[in-house]
Structure 1
Amino acid sequence: MAPIPIVDSHIHLYTESEQSTLTWLSPEHPLTGSHSITEYNGNTGSPAHLEGFIFIEADRKNDDAKNWTYPLEEISFVRRIVTGSPKPEDGHAATDAKHLLAAVPWAPVNLGPKKLEEYLAKAEETAGPETWAKVKGFRYLIQDKPNGTALEEDFIAGLQVLGQRGFVFDLGVDQHRRGRIQLDQTVEMIDRAHEGVDEDKKVVFIINHLCKPDLTIVNQSDPSFVAWRTSMFTLSRCRRTYMKLSGCFEELPDWLKARPAEAIFEAILPWLAIVVAAFGPGRIMFGSNWPVCNVGVGEDAWKKWHRVVEMVCDLAGLSEDDQKMLWGGTAKKAYSIGA
């Protein structure tokens, strides 16, 4: 079988000059400095069948969504990629523009329709027509917000605005550190966001990183695993939800991160099998979460995760058509790439 085209559905990029604008990046963090397309190309080996990537916002400081300076700076950075006009410190060439297939910036979904529309207007102005055409959705991380944030009326109404405008919502929650409540509230949030909305206007949810389950668990009767498994099948019943096969390295114990891909696959097979069974290849997509995947794993992390996903395809006995969906087709469909 010829190499199947790959769309990496989840990578982050930022320059050293703007790293102080990231909420999570301390001077001691292993991801300090610039993380550029040039570096990404080096880590992936730039295989010819890697069509490109989807840029995901990197959680810029925003003063509880009241200050949009840094998120808009991030959109300006994306514009320099798309238009082939990099600054010297950006770390990419003008020819790299073709690799950015879609972008998912930050948006203040929590502020409700009026403020969200105001932000979208500023974002579109900052992006310009060519870059705005690449913006297929938005993200506002729930994983570090107070419980109940995603169930507030303004938040639900903001999600409905995105659906009406044809944008997807990238959903980031964290069961590992925040517990089952993040899963339960996710299910309720999706139900409420879709309630009473015409099918073609319902916002599409693209779930990041398997909802960050605790991959240190050994016993599958553990309440945490049972709650996660139940939520996966519940979430998958909504046809406008998709799941990224991404972010698993970050939830592994340190000793396992250093092991070969085969050992990692064996250790996390119960989670991978559930995702494939729940969502099917038509609603799961490959994503690396680069460069975060490198932490504790090393610069071969992208290749190692690629190998893990190859083994998922083999074990599941996916047909060539199903593999084409998992490696790139699902991402193109969910993000309306080429539409």
Structure 2
Amino acid sequence: MPDAQVLIDAHHHVWDLDTRPQSWLDEPGHEPIRRSHGVDDLRTAATRPIAGRRLERTVLVQCVASVDETREFLALADDTPLVGAVVGWVDLTSPAVGDVLDALRAGPGGGYLRAVRHLVQGESDAAWLQRPSVERGLRAVAERGLGYDLLIRDHQFPQAIRLAERLPGLPLVLDHAGKPPVAGRDLEDWERSVRRLAAHPHVRCKVSGLITEADPAKWTVDDIRPVWETLLAAFGPERLMFGSDWPVCVLAGGWNRWAAAVEELLDGCSAAETGAVLTETATAFYGLDPARRKERT
């Protein structure tokens, strides 16, 4: 069993703007995070424990559609004990996707590649995940024992649900709970979609990215609670995992403020349920090594 004091952050990013520009940071409102962010910055920011657990392992998630970025992240994971897994990017539409995955896994840090992701939220095709070329690519992902991070907005649930139906052998995790319209407070359609997706037992969900879907300046735990209660009822704690979405969460208060909110949301959960959300679900989904050495001091 994982150490009772271990906290897993199942979703964070790093970027070096001198090496790889991030065009999305040019959008208005992103000024507070429009600089380079590295793992050392995360260590400095993430100081608050949740339910007595302190951050010890993370899952580093791709930012841009770049195999080179994925190679860089794998090498970083190989040299950084804090990073236990990488969610990378490959061109799922390419006939050579299997060869690319194999090359990544054979390269430096390749053993830390545990899943892939594509920014489906930016695709205008309402059935992008059902394109034959994409489905072929996702089958190649599944054949290699890797998972897939679903990054969608709430109106894109139908294609995610269809994917879960068609590929039951592909482990799926819903990033940021499907970006519910927290600020608008009209959650009925989102709730219905979440329950339909959660009906597929191979789907997990990240409790992440919610504070930036609320009012970043004025959100409270009560704003997030209806989403949390729906996720808890639909997935159960054994299929939920904590993620910070750092440094994007800085736009809405930062890592420690989100951690405090999660601890409040977990009030009333048993020790086993809390352990699932904070440690065990992510450990199992991403194949994190509980014996990996602790961060160097």
- Whether these two folds match at TM > 0.5 is yes
**Matches of 1:273 and 1:254, distance apart in 2:** 20
Identical-residue share of aligned pairs (%): 23
Alpha-carbon distance change, 153 to 80 in structure 1, aligned in 2, over 3 angstroms: closer
Aligned to 2:112: 134
SS in 1 for 2:8: strand
Aligned to 2:26: 26
Whether the aligned pair in 1 keeps the contact of 2:15 and 2:36 (CA below 8 Å) is yes
SS in 1 for 2:11: strand
Residue correspondence of structure 1 range 100-179 to structure 2 within 5 A: 100-111=83-94, 114-125=95-106, 127-128=107-108, 131-146=109-124, 147-175=126-154
Higher RCO (CA 8 Å, separation ≥ 6 residues): 2
**Matches of 1:46 and 1:310, distance apart in 2:** 10
Q: CA RMSD in A?
A: 2.1
Residue correspondence of structure 1 range 250-289 to structure 2 within 5 A: 250-257=212-219, 264-289=220-245
Whether the aligned pair in 1 keeps the contact of 2:209 and 2:245 (CA below 8 Å) is yes
Aligned to 1:234: 196
Q: 1:123 Cα shift?
A: 2.3
TM-score, length-scaled by structure 2:
0.88
The one-character-per-residue Cα deviations of 1:158-200 (angstroms, maximum 9, x if unpaired) are 222211110000110012xxxx3x0112111221223xxxxxx
Q: Which runs of 4+ in 1 moved over 3 A?
A: none
Aligned to 1:217: 184
**Matches of 2:46 and 2:216, distance apart in 1:** 22
Whether 1:74 aligns to 2:76 is no
Q: Which amino acid aligns with 1:137?
A: A
Pick the structure with greater CA Rg: 1
**Matches of 2:140 and 2:286, distance apart in 1:** 17
SS in 2 for 1:24: helix
Q: 1:23 Cα shift?
A: 4.2
User: In the alignment, which of 291, 297, 304 is matched to residue 257 of structure 2?
Assistant: 304
Whether the aligned pair in 1 keeps the contact of 2:48 and 2:260 (CA below 8 Å) is no
* Matched residues, number: 282
* Structure 1 gap ranges (5+): 61-70, 85-96, 195-201, 258-263
Instruction: Choose between structure 1 and 2: higher helix proportion.
Output: 1
TM-score, length-scaled by structure 1:
0.78
Whether the aligned pair in 2 keeps the contact of 1:105 and 1:135 (CA below 8 Å) is yes
Q: 1:280 Cα shift?
A: 0.8
User: In the alignment, which of 54, 62, 71 is matched to residue 49 of structure 1?
Assistant: 54
* Structure 2 gap ranges (5+): 291-297
